[in-house]
Structure 1
């Protein structure tokens, strides 16, 4: 999987390898276990760029995985990589997975990429053992991840850390498979649920705007997921190009209360709509998460969009950009504001707004919309 550095925290100082290891859950969005984590260093300096996480491979697949992952850093944006291997136990010879590190070093050298650091940790938990592969005197115990600089920065920005990648993936699963089946049948038999005889295209677009605005208002009231009729109408509302541009425009600037609220609305619709209509909501969720720096969620959402509609060109293009580690700042202008409609949304009131309640809900294991 790929992820990206959350905007606004890339200058947070990681003072030593222990801090870097402890910060991984906040950089990835979940606690990696039995994993290889590759952190690219951007040119100039050592700002974190592309990040990749993969399961530790079987020994016979180590060379293949190194050949597949390292070349993704071989571009003008990166000048080297930090390697972190998570899992296993050290022995009298040092950290485990040394053969795998050798394969990674082989491919790094082939692409003239610098190995900034090679680190190992048994797990990302307070007190877990960690060590450096290239310096036998470098090592110690992992500090509390919640006390790192990155933790403070990401918590302030509203990010959530899940206990595992599986827990993060679960937030995209349908809330009710039976409802998805019902709505697929309704959508197949209701080609124009927003249209009534005599309505112009402008009238239909106005109806679509109303449906979407009502979805946000229900979110603020904590009214729960849409019913079948609302879901069907929203599925069609999202298909209008001016609506798409307006929805994507809500992702910029990131870290606003309206952006966080929009992310929750898109997540709700990903869980409530059948394919291929789900692709639109998953696209908006992926773009919003990417702009906020929630790279793991962005990747899963974009994969969800492409799975729901393999011919969705915008989802395909954005997934490709995410997959090669494109700086989110370069994607800020993706929405075409010239054709976007005004959704008539103002930021939710503070304090005690729906958005604030949702942020609290996202701080723990998935429940409700998460």
Structure 2
């Protein structure tokens, strides 16, 4: 399993191996285990954080194939090189860190793409006191600091970024709040006409439904009722409404974008397939635009599971897996709302919310 995180995560010190390893949970959204993390250094100077990708450590027979699949993704944006971080395994005294063969395969694959490996690091686990070392220098190594005490952690906390203890814990955010409620809504939606509103007022009526949902969310009114959930599902199927919702993803991390992401996540938890695909695709796009490729990928997987032929989710999934940076999809949001409905009554920067996206 592979996850790509484009630029947008909290900054990390690429020159300090121990600090960089300890910061990995904040760069990919969760604490990695048995993983390789590839960290791109942005051109022109190489000091900035570029594309960050995590993949499961492969079996020995799959090393070369996985290396050849990962390396080309760093050529789609300007990078000066890549740092490799391997998490997992036990180092024997007097021996190089484990998985050295895979690191060599990655170095060869990246070299074929014109990208040098600037540093190759290993740690047994991401926790305070865990041993770490370097593949190229036997004398390089030590113990990791507390990941929560790094500069990256402080910046992440300030911006509302959460690092989960595992990938499964992060993925659990997308599970239904109440399977019984979701089943009930699935039955209601099968009996619902194609549009519950007259054609002449369809867009304005659907916009009113979304606006009311944001108002309930700001009042902390709790999850939607069955009737509200059904109307929201139908509203997101209106192309003009979906486009206006896309536009709410920018500027990323602004309060309005956070409120939008909260609502899309709620609807993923509250709607049945295939209807939840619209909300999941919006959630994936919003997470992608703020630089959280890991959660974006999970949301898009959720959308495609609910509706395999969902066009927007399929497009975003392809973009994400090719390692493209968010700015290449900025125009999708900027051109998405010709009707001027974006925001549904929410101001751009002064929405009050205590819940991070």
Q: Structure 1 length as normaliser, TM-score? A: 0.89
**Partner of residue 260, structure 2:** 262
Distance change >3 Å, CA 332–CA 250, structure 1 → 2: same
**Matches of residues 288-367 of structure 1 in structure 2 within 5 Å?**
288-335=286-333, 336-342=336-342, 343-346=344-347, 353=352, 355-356=353-354, 358-359=355-356
Separation in 1, partners of 2:114, 2:255: 43
Count of aligned residue pairs for this structure pair = 351
**Partner of residue 233, structure 1:** 231
Separation in 2, partners of 1:76, 1:215: 38
**Partner of residue 148, structure 1:** 150
CA contact (8 A) 2:6 2:324 kept: no
Shift of 1:347: 5.7
CA contact (8 A) 1:22 1:124 kept: yes
Please identify, of 106-115 and 17-26, the stretch whose mean Cα deviation from structure 2 is larger. Answer: 106-115
Q: Which residue of 170, 174, 181 maps to 1:179?
A: 181
CA contact (8 A) 1:245 1:339 kept: no
Shift of 1:223: 1.7
**Partner of residue 106, structure 1:** 108
Shift of 1:346: 2.9
CA contact (8 A) 1:194 1:207 kept: no
**Which stretches of structure 1, 4 residues or more, deviate above 4 A after TM superposition?**
347-350
RMSD: 2.0
SS in 1 for 2:138: coil
Shift of 1:207: 1.6
Pair 1:69-2:70 in alignment: yes
**Matches of residues 75-114 of structure 1 in structure 2 within 5 Å?**
75=76, 77-91=78-92, 92-114=94-116
Separation in 2, partners of 1:221, 1:280: 24
Shift of 1:193: 5.6
CA contact (8 A) 1:169 1:300 kept: yes
Shift of 1:86: 0.3
1:340-369 C-alpha deviation (Å, 9 max, x unpaired):
52522236967xx4x21x23xx7xxxxxxx
Q: Which residue of 253, 267, 272 maps to 2:270?
A: 272
CA contact (8 A) 1:158 1:255 kept: no
**Partner of residue 282, structure 2:** 284
Distance change >3 Å, CA 50–CA 6, structure 1 → 2: closer
**Partner of residue 4, structure 1:** 5
Structure 1 residue runs without a partner (length 5+): 363-370
**Partner of residue 248, structure 1:** 246
Please identify, of 66-75 and 226-235, the stretch whose mean Cα deviation from structure 2 is larger. Answer: 66-75
**Partner of residue 163, structure 1:** 165
Please identify, of 55-64 and 252-261, the stretch whose mean Cα deviation from structure 2 is larger. Answer: 55-64
**Partner of residue 22, structure 2:** 22
CA contact (8 A) 2:265 2:283 kept: yes
Distance change >3 Å, CA 144–CA 192, structure 1 → 2: same
Separation in 2, partners of 1:146, 1:119: 20
Separation in 1, partners of 2:82, 2:9: 21
Shift of 1:139: 0.7
SS in 2 for 1:344: coil
**Partner of residue 140, structure 2:** 138
Shift of 1:311: 1.8
1:310-353 C-alpha deviation (Å, 9 max, x unpaired):
22222211121111121112222212221452522236967xx4
Distance change >3 Å, CA 26–CA 8, structure 1 → 2: closer
SS in 2 for 1:123: coil
Separation in 2, partners of 1:126, 1:100: 26
1:143-171 C-alpha deviation (Å, 9 max, x unpaired):
11122222222222211110001100111
Structure 2 residue runs without a partner (length 5+): none
